[in-house]
């Protein structure tokens, strides 16, 4: 999943970004409200983590502007303010949750999983294609009941493929949702990760699920491409 983190304190931003990246999230970082607004309008994010006290535009203003444009990605405010009025203002502006600094990455990850789950029907926390299933809460993958060991990035890629199944997705779409804005699009890393996934998801003797769609990209589905 792709996350926008807007935080003007560099050390805090790097700490949070590192924690999210370690869990397999693709993270874009903005240093002020104007940049956060521009990124959120230009890209599709699964969730936004916004500091309230940012330069140029504060987090509450950013959320209000985004909601007016019908950009409805869930928002968690990260802030040093612990005032009830600030919390109410933030929630009324359209935020989904509120985390007061200092906070632990473990708590942030739990809050993030919670707001993302609320975006999906409860039945969709486990998604399946054929005998392959992906648990979005426990971050576990199984095929024919056997658990598949995946790295966080492999899991993110598989989640994107299975969420779009049976439709094919382009390399550009994969890059935009699985990697962050600093990704070098000239590399062949997508092909490398697809190859690694195939080794784990489509072992010899099983029906192939990951297909190359010529001129388009890749699709995860039962049957022929």
pLDDT in tens, 139-163: 889 998 889 998 888 888 898 898 8
Q: How is the chain split into domains, by residue range?
A: 2-118, 122-220
Neighbouring CB atoms inside 10 A of 118's CB total: 12
Report the pLDDT averaged over residues 81-91.
71
Which is higher by pLDDT, 116 or 65?
Answer: 65
Q: How many Å apart are CA 130 and CA 75, to the nearest integer?
A: 34
The per-residue pLDDT for 124 is: 60
Which tokens is 193 given? Answer: 């990760």
Arithmetic mean of pLDDT over the chain: 84
As a whole number, mean pLDDT of residues 111-129 equals: 73
- pLDDT at position 40 is 93
Q: Phi and psi at residue 161, in whole multiples of 5°?
A: -65, -45
Class of domain 2-118: alpha beta
According to CATH, what is the number of the domain 122-220?
1.10.10.10
Q: What is the DSSP secondary structure assignment for residue 207, as one 8-state letter?
A: P
Q: Taking residues 115-134, what's their average pLDDT?
A: 74
Model pTM? Answer: 0.63
pLDDT of 82 reads 66
pLDDT for position 123: 47
Tell me the per-residue pLDDT of 31-45, one tens digit each, with 9 for 90 and over: 999 999 999 998 888
Q: Residues 210, 221: contact at Cβ < 8 Å? A: no
| pLDDT score of 151 | 87
Tell me the average pLDDT across 108-123.
74
Q: Is the pLDDT of residue 185 over 80?
A: no
What confidence score (pLDDT) does residue 30 get?
Answer: 92
Tokens of 215: 């001129």
């Amino acid at each position: 999943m792709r996350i926008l983190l807007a935080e003007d304190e560099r050390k805090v931003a790097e700490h949070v970004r590192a924690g999210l990246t370690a869990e397999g999230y693709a993270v874009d970082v903005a240093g002020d409200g104007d940049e956060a607004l521009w990124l959120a309008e230009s890209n599709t994010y699964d969730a936004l983590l916004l500091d309230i006290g940012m330069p140029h535009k504060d987090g509450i203003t950013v959320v209000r502007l985004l909601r007016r444009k019908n950009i409805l990605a869930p928002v968690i405010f990260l802030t040093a303010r612990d005032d009830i009025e600030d919390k109410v203002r933030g929630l009324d502006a359209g935020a989904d949750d509120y985390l007061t600094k200092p906070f632990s990455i473990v708590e942030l990850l739990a809050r993030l999983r919670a707001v993302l789950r609320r975006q999906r029907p409860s039945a969709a926390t486990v998604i399946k294609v054929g005998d392959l299933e992906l648990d979005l809460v426990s971050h576990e993958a199984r095929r024919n009941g056997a658990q598949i060991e995946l790295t966080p990035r492999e899991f993110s890629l598989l989640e994107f493929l299975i969420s779009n199944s049976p439709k094919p997705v382009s390399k550009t779409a994969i890059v935009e949702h699985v990697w962050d804005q600093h990704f070098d699009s000239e590399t062949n890393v997508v092909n490398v990760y697809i190859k690694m996934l195939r080794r784990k998801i489509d072992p010899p003797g099983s029906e192939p699920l990951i297909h190359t769609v010529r001129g388009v990209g890749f699709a995860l589905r039962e049957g022929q491409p």
